[in-house]
Structures are given as structure tokens and as C-alpha cells.
Amino acid sequence: MFKSFLSFTCTLLLVLTQSFSFAQELNCTVQVSDQQIQSDKTIFELMQKAIRELMNNTKWTDDVFSEEEKIDCSILINITEKLSANDFKGTIQVQSSRPVFGTGYSTNLISVKDNNFQIQFNQFDQLLYSENAYTTELVAILSFYAYMIIGMDYDSFSLKGGTPYFEKALSIVNISANSGRSGWKSFESKENRYWYVNNQLDQFFEPLRECFYEYHIKGFDIMGEKLNEARTQITTALRKIETIHNTRPNWYNTKLFFYAKTDEIVNLYKSAPQPEKASIVALLKKVNPANSSKYNRILTAK
């Protein structure tokens, strides 16, 4: 009786250990919208389910994640055209965030809308990621963004910590370049998946990665205890972007940084002393002129 109980206990512990050891990295919510077209909704419901399972059930790294450590992210796919029974065109919007140490606040890491989205999907398709192989366009796009999400999360905790995952995303770009679909090649646009990851790994953009790391670790992660010091550190971090702007103004990865951070930055500096407000607004308007009207709200806030 004791031996049977011991055997059962060991088996249970082994199962639990294995489950823990292979815990997935992403906590991804998925929505597929087809409001702009008239079609059977079933196919899009199945697509949504298949995407959610791929993102959340794939083991993307060799690291161990507890349930609490999973990266919160979301995918919104807007289907705008049905080109054939199983060929669809639209956009994909990807966001991710991570908690700020010692607070209940989460800060956005990625906010990107990708207009290069044309995929095939059949009713009974299973989406499976295979490293070093192009299977379908949908899997390639989702896998690319999975690694960008993970890479950006790691970059926010350690300087250039996301490099191994950006390299995996770059591998997906290279493998997918001959797919015949858009978004994977350098000459198509300066704002696509090719440039997103290549810029991220380019030595020229290291100041942006340094900014990203210091913004979170030296800034937001101490904000709960040292607000003024945190804001000073964030200002120092943001000034690193100026060196990139002076040579390559309004470059894609700089834009993506501000897509994720603009509203947060505005709220952060609203309570700063007036001289600090004037200094940071001048910097922000220079490196991110598209959001100048938002940055003016810093100056007028009481």
C-alpha cells in the first residue's frame, strides 16, 4: 500500500515538474475581427482559436516561466478582404506589456500595427511553429512577433538581453523572404518586419536599446519609492534617442518606441517642476514631432 502511494506521489511530482519546466512564455489574448466583410463567421472563430493556441502553447525559449512571469500580450487581426475561400487580407496589431516593480501598473513595451497581412487559412488548419522552416505565412508572422515580444521583454530587464530572440525573429525574416508575401524584404518599405528586427540588431540603434533598458530598470522600476529620481533617470534615458534622431530622424524603431510610450511619458511629466517640463518637452518635440500636440499637455498640466 505504501509502495503504491509512494509510486503515485513520485509520478505526480514528475508530471508537475515537467509541466512547470516547460511552462510557456506568453499570455496572449487574440481577437480576429471580420466586420468589414460578409462571410461565414466560423472560419474566423477557428482562426482565432488556432492563433491563441499557437501563441500560448508553443515553448518559444529554453527558459522556465512561472504562471506569474508570463508575458502579457495581445493580437488583434482585422480581416478586410476575402480574396478566395481560404485567402484573406487585413492588418495585425500586436501589443505587449510588463509589470512595473513594486506597483500595480503595467507599462507598454510593444505597440505595432502591421499592414502587410495576407494569409491562407483552412477550417481544420493546425498552426505549428517549426524552427528553420517556412510552413505558412500566418505561422511565420505570428512566430516573428512572438520572438519580438519576448525580445523586447528581455531588453527591458537586462541590457540587450533580448538579442537571442531578435536573432530568431531575424531568422524567420530570412526564411520567409522567398514566400512571395510582403513584409519580409528590405526594398518593399522602411517600415516592415524586415526593418523592425534588423534595426533592433543594428549597432547604430544601440542607444535606443540602452534607453529602453534604463527607462524601465532605472526609471519605472524605482518609481514606487523614488519618483523624482526615477523621472530624472528617464529623462537621461530619453536623451539617448537624440543621437539617433540627429542622423536618422523619424526612423521606424524610434516611432515604435513612441507608439508604445507617448501617453505614458505625458502622464509622467505632468507633475514635474516647470523648468523640467520645458526641457523634456523641447526634447520630445524634436525626436518625436508627430506627437507634439500631446507633449504640449505636459506644459499646461497643473
Listing DSSP states for 124-163 in one string gives T------TT----HHHHHHHHHHHHHHHHHHHHHSTTTTH
- Does the structure show a pLDDT above 50 at 242? yes
Question: Facing residues of 112 across strands?
Answer: 94
Average pLDDT in the 265-288 region? Answer: 97
- How many degrees, rounded to 5, is the angle at CA 79 between CA 107 and CA 177? 80
Amino acid 73: pLDDT: 98
User: Does residue 135 sit within a domain?
Assistant: no
Phi, psi of 188 (to 5 degrees): -70, -35
- Does the structure show a pLDDT above 60 at 83? yes
Average pLDDT in the 110-132 region? Answer: 96
Domains in the chain, number:
1
Alpha-carbon Rg for the chain in angstroms: 22
User: Does residue 234 sit within a domain?
Assistant: yes
Q: Which stretch of DSSP H or E encloses residue 65?
A: none
The 10s digit of each residue's pLDDT in 138-154 is: 999 999 999 999 999 99
Secondary structure (3-state) at 78: strand
User: Does residue 15 sit within a domain?
Assistant: no
How many Å apart are CA 161 and CA 164, to the nearest integer?
8
| Residue located via cell numbers 520567409 | 176
The C-alpha cell at 68 is 506569474
User: Does residue 290 sit within a domain?
Assistant: yes
> Which of 2-11, 30-39, 201-210, 260-269 is least confident?
2-11
Amino acid 37: pLDDT: 81
Residue numbers of the domain that contains 281? 215-302
> Which of 31-40, 77-86, 196-205, 277-286 is least confident?
31-40
How many Å apart are CA 151 and CA 199, to the nearest integer?
13
How many Å apart are CA 89 and CA 195, to the nearest integer?
21
Average pLDDT in the 164-184 region? Answer: 97
Q: What is the pTM of this model?
A: 0.91
User: Does residue 136 sit within a domain?
Assistant: no
- Does the structure show a pLDDT above 60 at 5? no
Distances (CA, A) of 276 to 271, 281, 285: 10, 8, 14
User: Does residue 249 sit within a domain?
Assistant: yes
Mean pLDDT of the chain: 92
Average pLDDT in the 119-130 region? Answer: 94
- Does the structure show a pLDDT above 80 at 39? no
Amino acid 132: pLDDT: 92
- Does the structure show a pLDDT above 90 at 61? yes
Amino acid 2: pLDDT: 36
Phi, psi of 122 (to 5 degrees): -105, 160
How many Å apart are CA 98 and CA 90, to the nearest integer?
28
Q: How confident is the model at residue 22 (pLDDT cuts 50, 70, 90)?
A: low
By C-alpha distance, which of 42, 39, 30 is closest to 124?
42
| Count of other CB atoms within 10 angstroms of residue 237 | 21
Chain CA centroid to CA 101, Å: 19
Burial of 60 (0-12, 13-18, 19+ CB in 10 A): buried
CB 249 within 8 A of CB 290: no
What one-character DSSP code corresponds to residue 100?
P
User: Does residue 260 sit within a domain?
Assistant: yes
